[in-house]
Each structure stands twice: as C-alpha cells, then as structure tokens.
Amino acid sequence: MGIPEVTFTLEEYGPVLAIAWWDAKYKDPIYLVSNMELMEEACHWYKKRFRIETFFSDQKSRGFDLHKSHITDPKRLARLMIAACLTYIWIVYLGVVAKRDKWVGIIHRTDRCDLSLFRLGLSLLEHFLDKELPIPIAFQIPAECVGWQR
C-alpha cells in the first residue's frame, strides 16, 4: 500500500511516497519512504539494497566518515562524494592487490579473512604508510579488456 504526496518529519520534508509493504517472507511489514513516484518502482529498487548497503557504510561509519562532514550545500556535498567514490575505487583496488600479492597474511589474521576488499585496501594502505613502502597508485586495464564494447 502506498500513499503519495505526504510530508515527512516535523520539517514536513516532501512530498514523498510512504509505503507499507507486506511480503510473505516477513512477519512484519516493511515501511519505506521514497522520492519515487511509483510504489512498484520503489519496491523494485529496495529489493536491490543489499548490493549497495556495504558501499554506503564504507562511505560513512566503516570508512570515510562522510556523515561527520556536516556539509549541507548540495554542490559541495556532490564534489565530496565524487572524490570519495574515486578514492573508494582505488581503495578496493588496493584490497585486490592485498589478495593478489599475498599481503593478507601480513595485514590481517591468517586463519580466515572476514574483511571486505575495501577494508583490506585500507589496511594495506596503512601498512604501506607505516612501513614507508611504495604505494600502488595506477590502475591497469587487463589486455583482454582492451577493445571491449558495451
């Protein structure tokens, strides 16, 4: 069930779409507030949330702490997000380097690895900085990907 054109919070943010969604897999309904116009579209994208939630937490509390920036100007926030996203890609690349080049046993536990590529990348960067080692900064496109088309 969706209710369009509602306002949200005491500041009356909106209009937004308020949704109470009952799914047979869950005991209680899921409540959503969306800026989308169609309830079906909002529910469709909500189902995909698990694919991006890790990214958001890496941008916020588990990584860059962007939530502490207190930036309110949308243009400035957009610029910060672009920089953070580019940095995120590089840090994930360092996580791949950590696995590929066998750094995991040096920067993390040896019995199992329970860190994401992002967290591994941050740990590897910290290790490189602490030990004053060269930091890989270049991205390389594998030869088999050159010439790929959409």
150 has a pLDDT exceeding 50: no
103 touches 97 (CB < 8 A):
yes
- Tell me how far apart the 2 most distant CA atoms of the chain are, in Å: 57
Answer yes or no: pTM beyond 0.85: no
90: which 2 tokens? Answer: 């590089």
Q: Quick: pLDDT tens for 65-110.
A: 888 888 988 899 899 989 998 899 999 999 999 999 999 999 998 7
E-strand ranges in 22-149 read 30-34
User: Lowest mean pLDDT: which of 11-15, 18-22, 79-83, 129-133?
Assistant: 11-15
d(CA 37, CA 46): 14
93-121 burial by CB neighbour count: b if 16+ within 10 A, else e?
bbbebbeeeebbeebbeeeeeebbbbbbb
